[in-house]
Every structure is written in C-alpha cells, then in structure tokens.
Amino acid sequence: MKILIVEDEIELSNSMATYLRGESYLCEIAHDHRTALDKIEVFDYDCILLDISLPDGNGLNLLRQLKANNKTDGVIIISARNSIDDKIEGLNLGADDYISKPFHLSELSARIKAVIRRRRFEGTSVLVFNELVIDIEGKSVFIDDKPVDLTRKEYDLLLYLASNKNRIISKNAIAEHLSGDEIMSYDNLDFIYSHIKNLKRKLSMAGCSDYIKSMYGMGYKFEPKS
C-alpha cells in the first residue's frame, strides 16, 4: 500500500511517514506542488494525503489536475483552516475525505484505511476467491475458514498479487512493492523467490494450490479458478 504525503511542514510530514510506515504503508513525501504532480503523474498511489495550503500554489488546483487526468488514487484533504468552504469544494472536486489540523495520527490512519477499502476494494474489506479469503481489515488470510499464518511480506505479496488478479506482475514491481522505498540495485531480485516459495507452500499446505503462477521470464500472476 503506497501513500503520498503532500505536505510542506518537514516535521509533520516526517512524523506522518514514520507513523504510517509503522502501519506497514509505503510512504513517499512531496514537499511542494510540482514534485507532487510529477509523482502522481507517474505512480499510482493507494491514497494521497493532500495539504491544501501548499507553498507553491493552491492544493485544490492540484486536486483538479489530478482528477482531470482520470487518476483513481484516493485523496484525503488536509487543511489547517477550519474552513467549511474548502472542505466542500474539496469533496466536490472528488476528494474522498477531509481532515483538519491538528489531527491525531491514529485518526488519519483510520481514515486512510477507510478510503483505501472503498476505492481499491470497492467497499469490501475482504477479498474472496472460492476457499481463499483475504481479510484486509484484519490483515489475515483464511482458507476453508481456517486461518493461515503469513509473515508480513508474504501477506503483502499475496494481497498485491490478488488485487491484480489475472495480470502478470513483474519482479521489479514486486520488489518495489515489498521493499518500501526505491531500491537502486535491481540486480538482486532473488529474494523474491523465497517469499513466493514460502507463500505458495503455506497456501498449498492449507489446501489451496495453483493460485499463484510463475510466468516464465515475465513475473507472477494470481489466477483464481472461478
């Protein structure tokens, strides 16, 4: 799960990132309008935390541009002002939620969770593929109603593949998704094999095989039987 923090106050943005990383999110920070737009154009984020009062421009314009580009990223507007107008305009422009400074990080986290659930998983907090159930809320996985113990990486991997079902995901993408911030050495992607192997083993031991397919030379694909 990837989050973009658009916030110019260094200290605040850092503590947000720290907290959210603790919640297993991958966080990137943009301290200004332009950086944010560049990142948004190229990457897909699960949620964008957008401070309305940016130093180099109006955050609402950024939101406009974002929506004009048909981006599907979730957006939570952050504002220092308690202005109702901003809130209404932001929501009208397509923001998913709104939070006013100062806020508790736990509240922010809860709102993020809700936005992601609504957008990425269409309101549901569980993904169901026949006997395989992924409980996003509880970060747990069940097969035939019996819980399967996965490590954090394994869970992230499964959720990532499952939410991209029937699409081949490159090892580059997996590596990036699993190991937080940008990796600069993409030479040693072998560690992915272990995670894939362990995940496959745990799933099949619980009676759930062949969901994750290796696509020779291309990556991996989650393919539900349906």
Partner DNA sequence: CTTCTACAATAAGGATCTTCATAGAAATTA
Partner DNA sequence: TAATTTCTATGAAGATCCTTATTGTAGAAG
Binding piece for DNA, criterion CB under 7 A, among 8-16, 107-115, 139-147, 151-159: 151-159
Least distance from C-beta 78 to DNA, angstroms?
Answer: 25
Residue where the block lists tokens 């009208």: 92
Q: How many CB atoms lie within 10 A of CB 117?
A: 17
Per-residue binding letters, 154-193, with DNA (x by CB under 7 A): x----------------x------xx---x----x-xx-x
- Chosen from DNA, a copy of itself, none, partner binding at 101 (C-beta under 5 to 8 Å by type): none
Query: Considering CB distances under 5 to 8 angstroms, the limit depending on partner class, which of DNA, a copy of itself, none binds residue 140?
Result: a copy of itself
Number of residues that bind DNA (CB under 7 A): 26
Any residues with CB less than 8 A from the CB of 191 and at least 6 apart, and which? Answer: none
Q: Which stretch binds DNA (CB under 7 A): 82-90, 108-116, 159-167, 208-216?
A: 208-216
Among 124, 172, 209, 214, binds DNA (CB under 7 A): 214
Which residue's structure tokens are 């994750």? 212
**Rounded to an integer, what distance in angstroms lies between the CA atom of residue 137 and that of residue 70?**
27
List the one residue out of 146, 117, 113, 112 whose CA is nearest residue 131: 146
Closest contact distance (angstroms) between CB of 169 and a copy of itself is 8
Residue located via tokens 């991996």: 220
Kindly give, in sequence order, each residue whose CB lies less than 8 Å from that of residue 59, ignoring residues fewer than 6 positions away. Answer: 6, 33, 50, 51, 52, 53, 77
Which residues of this protein are in contact with DNA, per CB under 7 A? 21, 149, 151-154, 171, 178-179, 183, 188, 190-191, 193-197, 200-201, 214-219
